[in-house]
């Protein structure tokens, strides 16, 4: 039977180290017209021709809205310590000031079931599904949306309080701001340099405004934010400046305001014409202390200066890539975490909140042999162990994703799950990677039980 191996003496063998799986609301729930939910920007975006592969949408997705109970049982069967999910803002506030008790009750059932089975619950408040009525007023280009988010955080945290073990304000603000409002590849599809940077500031302001609200309503829970971070490497020594800038523009731009109270000068200088309006006091709000940060890691980037002095990506054609076209580079996870530790002296604990690979997975006679994903996950667990050995304070690891789901602009073409989903029948099948993950966690549990 397949099983991932953790090095002897690894801190990840400790029962305090959290292993989990992760999902997000729009990607799995479906039932977009049920339970009092209103449209999100992704419902609208999916209706626009050519925006999503095959014209796919999240109307049904994995039908988790109806199948949640069996899904939570399945998660528990994997032996994980925690489940990371997101709450759909459109289910909680389908109208601006009208709290939808059906939406709260749906998530309460999930949370209660997880706790009854002994699993902790990590909840993301915003995983990109902004209510469409807020987008109609400018979305994240409108400063008011940051205050609407704080109100939404108040509604959720007042209802659940400490029942949610760990709150995340935002998942990957880079993606929300830049893919959604700068490059137009994600909902709502806005294109503009100034727009992308302005949206990023308002997202971070939303995070900062929500933090004291969450602390007041859930004083015993942990509160933080999750970033996607891609470490960049220079093609040659003369390209080191290109890699430094890409690190700054990719993740320092979002981490520095929270952890240092300022935006990186490298980006402000280069993007001077597009820099966002930052009001007095904004950075103090944004830099409120956090209990942890989440890091989502998938791959690296290699860059160089072209003949005009612009920065361009350098494809690594000799390397192995996943089905989505991302290079497999486990060392990047070690390097990234060490870089982050070096940059932020007062760094709070880190969770790896997403790590995984897209595969061209087929279920053949009830078995899914996702050999590449098994290697990917094993190699990244070892890379994480190296970072921990180097002194990085990591408290947990979440595999992305629990199951195949709606992969945003890629629709259902890309499969990131460790569980296979047949979208015609909604049958779930554990892939070999899920079995290897489960066997590793069961072995760890036995080891800790026996001392």
User: Per the domain annotation, does 271 fall within a domain?
Assistant: yes
Tell me: is residue 171 an annotated ligand-binding position. Answer: yes
- Domain hosting 270: range is 11-446
pLDDT on residue 161: 98
Please tell me whether the peptide bond between 188 and the residue prior to it is cis, using omega within 30 degrees of 0.
Answer: yes
**Element spanning 328, H or E:** none
Catalytic annotation, residues: 172, 354
pLDDT on residue 266: 97
Q: Decide the pairing of beta strands 18-22 and 292-296.
A: unpaired
pLDDT on residue 450: 86
User: Per the domain annotation, does 90 fall within a domain?
Assistant: yes
User: Per the domain annotation, does 214 fall within a domain?
Assistant: yes
Please tell me whether the peptide bond between 401 and the residue prior to it is cis, using omega within 30 degrees of 0.
Answer: yes
Number of neighbours of residue 449 by Cβ within 10 angstroms? 8
Q: Which two tokens stand for residue 91?
A: 């289910």
The domain that holds 114 is classified in CATH as: 3.20.20.80
pLDDT on residue 71: 99
- Whether the CB-CB separation of 417 and 404 falls below 8 Å is answered with yes
Q: What pTM was estimated for this model as a whole?
A: 0.98
Tell me: is residue 27 an annotated ligand-binding position. Answer: yes
User: Per the domain annotation, does 288 fall within a domain?
Assistant: yes
User: Per the domain annotation, does 4 fall within a domain?
Assistant: no
- Whether the CB-CB separation of 258 and 327 falls below 8 Å is answered with no
User: Per the domain annotation, does 2 fall within a domain?
Assistant: no
Per-residue confidence of the chain (451 residues) as pLDDT tens digits? Answer: 899 999 999 999 999 999 999 999 999 999 999 999 999 999 999 999 999 999 999 999 999 999 999 999 999 999 999 999 999 999 999 999 899 999 999 999 999 999 999 999 999 999 999 999 999 999 999 999 999 999 999 999 999 999 999 999 999 999 999 999 999 999 999 999 999 999 999 999 999 999 999 999 999 999 999 999 999 999 999 999 999 999 999 999 999 999 999 999 999 999 999 999 999 999 999 999 999 999 999 999 999 999 999 999 999 999 999 999 999 999 999 999 999 999 999 999 999 999 999 999 999 999 999 999 999 999 999 999 999 999 999 999 999 999 999 999 999 999 999 999 999 999 999 999 999 999 999 999 999 988 7
pLDDT on residue 257: 98
Question: Which phi and psi (to 5°) does residue 364 adopt?
Answer: -120, 115
User: Per the domain annotation, does 42 fall within a domain?
Assistant: yes
- Whole-angstrom distance, CA of residue 247 vs CA of residue 124: 25
- Whole-angstrom distance, CA of residue 190 vs CA of residue 167: 29
Give the CB-side neighbour count of residue 59, counting CA atoms within 13 A: 7
User: Per the domain annotation, does 451 fall within a domain?
Assistant: no
Tell me: is residue 128 an annotated ligand-binding position. Answer: no
Number of structural domains found in the chain: 1
């Amino acid at each position: 039977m397949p099983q991932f191996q953790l090095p002897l003496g690894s801190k990840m063998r400790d029962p305090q180290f959290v292993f989990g799986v992760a999902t997000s609301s729009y990607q799995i729930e479906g039932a977009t017209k049920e339970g009092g939910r209103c449209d999100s920007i992704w419902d609208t975006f999916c209706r626009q021709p050519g925006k999503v592969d095959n014209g796919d949408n999240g109307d049904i997705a994995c039908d988790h809205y109806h199948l949640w109970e069996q899904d939570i049982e399945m998660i528990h069967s994997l032996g994980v310590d925690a489940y990371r999910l997101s709450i759909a803002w459109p289910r909680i506030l389908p109208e601006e000031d009208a709290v939808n008790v059906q939406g709260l009750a749906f998530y309460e059932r999930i949370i209660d079931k997880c706790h009854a089975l002994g699993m902790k619950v990590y909840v993301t408040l915003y995983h990109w599904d902004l209510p469409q009525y807020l987008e109609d007023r400018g979305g994240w280009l409108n400063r008011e949306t940051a205050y609407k988010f704080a109100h939404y955080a108040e509604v959720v945290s007042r209802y659940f309080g400490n029942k949610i073990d760990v709150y995340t304000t935002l998942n990957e603000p880079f993606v929300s701001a830049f893919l959604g409002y700068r490059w137009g590849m994600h909902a709502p599809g806005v294109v503009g340099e100034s727009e992308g940077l302005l949206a990023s500031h308002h997202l971070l302001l939303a995070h900062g405004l929500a933090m004291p609200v969450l602390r007041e309503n859930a004083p015993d829970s942990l509160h933080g934010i999750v970033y996607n971070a891609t470490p960049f490497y220079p093609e040659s020594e003369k390209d080191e400046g290109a890699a430094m800038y890409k690190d700054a523009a990719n993740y320092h731009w979002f981490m520095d305001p929270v952890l240092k109270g300022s935006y990186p000068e490298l980006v402000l200088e280069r993007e001077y014409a597009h820099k966002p309006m930052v009001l007095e006091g904004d950075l103090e709000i944004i830099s409120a202390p956090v209990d942890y940060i989440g890091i989502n890691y998938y791959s690296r980037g290699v860059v160089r200066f072209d003949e005009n002095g612009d920065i361009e990506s350098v494809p690594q054609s000799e390397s192995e890539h996943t089905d989505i076209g991302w290079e497999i580079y486990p060392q990047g996870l070690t390097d990234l975490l060490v870089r982050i530790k070096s940059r932020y002296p007062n760094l709070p604990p880190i969770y790896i909140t997403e790590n995984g690979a897209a595969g061209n997975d087929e279920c053949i006679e009830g078995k899914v042999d996702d050999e590449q994903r098994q290697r990917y996950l094993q190699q990244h667990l070892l890379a994480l162990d190296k970072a921990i050995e180097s002194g990085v304070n990591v408290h947990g690891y979440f595999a992305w994703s629990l199951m195949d789901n709606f992969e945003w602009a890629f629709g259902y073409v890309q499969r990131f799950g460790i569980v296979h989903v047949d979208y015609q029948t909604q049958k779930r099948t554990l892939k070999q990677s899920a079995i290897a993950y489960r066997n590793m966690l069961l072995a760890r549990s036995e080891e800790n039980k026996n001392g």
